[in-house]
């Protein structure tokens, strides 16, 4: 899958990790399904949580949201019961977590990636 990986109140260890999956091919994240058919940024999501790990996964398990703009503050606000009402941003990453390439070489190129502070 391709996803945002956002660390709050620190980086790694026991710090809260928020993932927003933007491209999925039938994978299910770690954790328990806490909400389904939740709409943020015009996308229908399933929300998973286990301790400090939180993930928004498109309800359509084969979704590809490449090129979409996301208001990350909305997702962070949604998880405030886990991270607190004023979490500190530790790190924002975006990338690929390959599951299986059937032994084939794969390459991912990310273009026009931008984060703005509003």
Average pLDDT over residues 94-114: 80
Residue 111's pLDDT is 74
User: Of 91, 80, 94, 115, nearest to 8 (Cα)?
Assistant: 91
How far apart CA 88 and CA 82 sit, in angstroms, is 13
How far apart CA 16 and CA 54 sit, in angstroms, is 8
pLDDT tens digits for 17-40?
Answer: 999 999 888 788 889 999 999 999
Helix (H, G, I), strand (E, B) or coil at 18: strand
Average pLDDT over residues 104-114: 79
pLDDT tens digits for 36-76?
Answer: 999 999 999 999 999 999 999 999 888 889 888 899 999 99
- CA torsion through residues 35, 59, 111, 95, sign: positive
The pTM of this model reads: 0.87
């Amino acid at each position: 899958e391709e996803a945002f990986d956002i660390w709050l109140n620190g980086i790694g260890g026991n710090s809260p990790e928020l993932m927003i999956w933007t491209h999925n091919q039938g994978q299910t994240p770690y954790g328990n399904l806490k909400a389904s058919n939740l709409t943020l940024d015009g996308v229908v999501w399933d929300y998973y949580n286990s301790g400090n790990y939180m993930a928004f996964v498109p309800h359509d398990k084969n979704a590809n949201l490449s090129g979409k703009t996301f208001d990350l503050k909305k997702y962070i606000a949604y998880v405030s019961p886990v991270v607190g009402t004023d979490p500190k941003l530790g790190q924002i990453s975006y990338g690929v977590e390959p599951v299986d390439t059937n032994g084939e070489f794969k390459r991912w190129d990310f273009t026009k990636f931008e984060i703005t502070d509003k």
